[in-house]
Amino acid sequence: QLVLTQSPSASASLGASVKLTCTLSSGHSSYAIAWHQQQPEKGPRYLMKLNSDGSHSKGDGIPDRFSGSSSGAERYLTISSLQSEDEADYYCQTWGTVVFGGGTKLTVL
């Protein structure tokens, strides 16, 4: 069964970098995913599609501070030069049968 696993929470300081992880279930390590951001009291926003080889394509207007990478079954979202508006929930999503991860709540200290 295709499952995406995310840590429930993460935190980092203003101006620092943070790396969020989304792990694909066993047997699905070749799958691409997408990352989405949901700021407080707002709807989700598409950030990027991330392939198993680490190549990624970002959505319209997504800053260069957001990047993606992959290693095995792990898919990463790195946010550099953290800003207060980056405090949000981050969800990974895959397809075949469409699935969301449980989300990671990022706190900017």
- Site residues, another protein (CB under 8 A): 32-34, 36, 38, 43-46, 49, 59, 89, 91, 93-103
**Type and span of the H or E element at 60:** none
Q: Which two tokens stand for residue 17?
A: 């970098």
**Nearer to another protein among residue 49 and residue 76 (C-beta):** 49
- Cα–Cα distance between 100 and 6 in angstroms, integer? 10
For residue 40, the tally of other CB atoms under 10 A from its CB is 8
**Nearer to another protein among residue 29 and residue 102 (C-beta):** 102
Q: Which residues of 67-90 are buried (b: 16+ CB within 10 A; e: fewer)?
A: bbebeebebbbebeebeeebbbbb
**Nearer to another protein among residue 86 and residue 89 (C-beta):** 89
Shortest gap between Cβ of 57 and another protein (angstroms)? 9
**Nearer to another protein among residue 17 and residue 33 (C-beta):** 33
Shortest gap between Cβ of 34 and another protein (angstroms)? 4
Shortest gap between Cβ of 60 and another protein (angstroms)? 9
